[in-house]
Amino acid sequence: MGKFYVTTPIYYVNDVPHIGHAYTTVAADALARYWKLKGEKVCFLTGTDEHGLKMQRAAQEKGITPQELADRNSEQFKRLWEKMNIGYDDFIRTTEERHMKTVSAFVDRLIKADDIYLGEYEDWYCVPDETYWTETQLLPGRLCPNCKRPVELLKEPSYFFRMSKYRDPLLKHLDLHPDFVQPEVRWNEVKSFVQGEIRDLSISRTTFDWGIPIPNAPGHVTYVWVDALLNYISALGWPDDPEGKFASFWPADVHLIGKDILRHHAVYWPCLLMAAGVPLPKTIFAHGWWTNECRKMSKSLHNFVDPNEMIDQFGLDAFRYFMMREVAFGQDGDFSVTAFKGRINSDLANDLGNLLSRVCGMISRYLDGKLQGAPDLQGIDRELEQGLATTDHEVELCFNKFTFHKALTVIWGFINQVNKYIDTTGPWTLAKDPAKKDRLLTVLFYSAASLRGIAILLWPFIPGSAEKIWEQIGLVPPLVGINRAEQMPFKTFAPKSLIKKAEPLFPRIEV
């Protein structure tokens, strides 16, 4: 049995959760569920990033303490993940004792290794992004290249991490591990960034105090990005590892991130880990950005897609499905309500929902809901079972490559194969002839067994609906914890209860 450790970024609690957060988290959830069902030991970590000047200022404006603001907003993320059926294994908050202990121990280790020195930092600082920029990186008019807001010139005594020392080792690592940063276009971006000059990284701030103190350096708190990145190992209990989690799960199999935080994850993070003598994560995967009806989402336009609203209007699994299916993971994509409704009606209601209600309806009508064995097996049946096996194999390849949209395309290929199988075998005709009873039994048994395979394959993406399919074909939920390998071959299909047509899985939406 292997292990799988997947993380989302910890979300900054100054934000209200929007589609960007939901997207990364649903992708991580799909990965975690997939490998869990495969029998791997999985850790899926998410959480919230709660320190920094931006939080301190936002709390001041609201007349509350930063901790109160962090508590309140962190809860919003937890509530959304509950609503979205996100099965994370751990939720880390950077204001937790366990996290702060790791950060102090990590910085202390770098100090002892002489990888940290005191200097003076002066540069252009973007407060909303908590990021320093050099003069050359700024946009005309001294605007932040990331968010296009004005930046401030800040000068302060600061501790520096000798990041420049790790430039060559990082370049070597990139060359040896073309999968370290994905997709390839991001690997290229990181490579060319690292090939340029890498400056030492300022890792402390003295202009505010809402952060984790640098050991033995009064007035200095840890730069919020160093603080935040360490969540990936603090949640595992580094360095003491009292529960053995670090030993079992590190290195991370994949850090899922948005492309806006690529540099922090693919440059700062590996350099910091190398300095501390901690192995590097296997993969950093940066996905693209969503636009809303072809317009960039921004605070000033107030046009962030609100996951709560989408779920209330269209249903949770439709929303989860759409995000994973509509756009190739790694590329930018557009959120459009028309496209969303189209997917619901064609893929979910028509292809999948109709298949389920057809099969359950016929089993109920022709066989009183009772299914046993396949007494009259023919070539087309074996082809169907082979189709599921091939699909299963291809989906695994997709999960290994994080190509969720392809996995779903492949699964829908099989759904269409089953639909065609029913059209070809024509159970409604078989049902009219008592002499063809064995053939009817076989066809309906194979159709329902196919639906079991489909439920297993879809569970990572739309767990709630997969459980409903499971139940409708007479199996006992939950799906989690099943022996997946045993439940794929058709011969092991054994419904526990009567099969009958139920409420449609995905009602059609008015266009």
Nearer to Zn ion, 137 or 487 (CB): 137
Segments in 250-301 forming alpha helices (H): 262-263, 269-276
* Listed ranges 17-25, 128-136, 171-179, 456-464: which one lies at the site for Zn ion (CB under 5 A): 128-136
φ, ψ for residue 229 (rounded to 5)?
-60, -30
* Residue 143 tokens, joined: 């605007």
Radius of gyration of the chain (CA): 26
Min separation Cβ 129 and Zn ion, Å: 4
Contacts of residue 175, Cβ cutoff 8 Å, sequence gap at least 6: none
Min separation Cβ 148 and Zn ion, Å: 7
Nearer to Zn ion, 126 or 316 (CB): 126
- Which of 76, 104, 146, 303 binds Zn ion (CB under 5 A)? It is 146
Min separation Cβ 48 and Zn ion, Å: 20
* Listed ranges 118-126, 261-269, 276-284, 406-414: which one lies at the site for Zn ion (CB under 5 A): 118-126
Cβ–Cβ under 8 Å, residues 24 and 273: no
* Listed ranges 144-152, 158-166, 327-335, 345-353: which one lies at the site for Zn ion (CB under 5 A): 144-152
Segments in 379-493 forming alpha helices (H): 379-401, 404-425, 427-430, 437-458, 463-472, 484-487
φ, ψ for residue 126 (rounded to 5)?
-100, 110
Q: Cite the beta strand spans of 32-95 per DSSP E.
A: 41-49, 90-93
Min separation Cβ 499 and Zn ion, Å: 56
Helix (H) or strand (E) holding 35: helix 19-37
Q: Cite the beta strand spans of 95-151 per DSSP E.
A: 116-126, 131-133
Q: Is 292 helix (H, G, I), strand (E, B) or coil?
A: strand
Cβ–Cβ under 8 Å, residues 301 and 196: no
Strands 152-161 and 11-12: unpaired
- Which of 126, 203, 395, 454 binds Zn ion (CB under 5 A)? It is 126
- Using CB under 5 A as the binding criterion, the count of chain residues that bind Zn ion stands at 5
Nearer to Zn ion, 34 or 132 (CB): 132
Site string for Zn ion, 150-189 (x = CB under 5 A): ----------------------------------------
Nearer to Zn ion, 142 or 382 (CB): 142
Nearer to Zn ion, 46 or 131 (CB): 131
Nearer to Zn ion, 151 or 359 (CB): 151
* Listed ranges 71-79, 100-108, 147-155, 180-188: which one lies at the site for Zn ion (CB under 5 A): 147-155
Inter-CA distances, 136 with 124, 126, 132, 145, 147, Å: 10, 14, 12, 10, 16
Min separation Cβ 264 and Zn ion, Å: 14
* Listed ranges 146-154, 162-170, 192-200, 414-422: which one lies at the site for Zn ion (CB under 5 A): 146-154
Min separation Cβ 52 and Zn ion, Å: 13
**Max Cα–Cα distance, the chain, nearest Å:** 90
- Which of 49, 50, 123, 129 binds Zn ion (CB under 5 A)? It is 129
φ, ψ for residue 231 (rounded to 5)?
-60, -30
Task: Tell me the residue nearest to Zn ion as measured from the CB.
Answer: 144
Place of tokens 């329902």: 448
Min separation Cβ 146 and Zn ion, Å: 4
Nearer to Zn ion, 64 or 138 (CB): 138
* Listed ranges 3-11, 24-32, 139-147, 202-210: which one lies at the site for Zn ion (CB under 5 A): 139-147
Nearer to Zn ion, 72 or 148 (CB): 148
Nearer to Zn ion, 205 or 405 (CB): 205
φ, ψ for residue 3 (rounded to 5)?
-125, 160
Taking the C-alpha atoms of residue 381 and residue 375, their distance in angstroms, rounded to an integer, is: 12
Nearer to Zn ion, 146 or 291 (CB): 146
Min separation Cβ 143 and Zn ion, Å: 8
- Which of 147, 171, 328, 377 binds Zn ion (CB under 5 A)? It is 147
Nearer to Zn ion, 146 or 303 (CB): 146
Which residue, 502, 504, 503, 500, is CA-closest to 371? 500
Helix (H) or strand (E) holding 255: strand 254-258
| Site residues (CB under 5 A) for Zn ion, limited to 321-380 | none
Distance of CA 89 to the CA centre of its chain: 13
How many CA atoms lie within 13 Å of 85's alpha carbon, on the beta-carbon side? 19
Nearer to Zn ion, 193 or 366 (CB): 193
Contacts of residue 365, Cβ cutoff 8 Å, sequence gap at least 6: 431
- Which of 22, 32, 70, 144 binds Zn ion (CB under 5 A)? It is 144
Indicate whether 64 belongs to the interface with Zn ion (CB under 5 A). no
* Listed ranges 87-95, 126-134, 174-182, 432-440: which one lies at the site for Zn ion (CB under 5 A): 126-134
Helix-, strand-, coil-residue percentages of the chain, each rounded to 5: 50, 15, 35
Chain contacts with Zn ion (rule: CB under 5 A): 126, 129, 144, 146-147
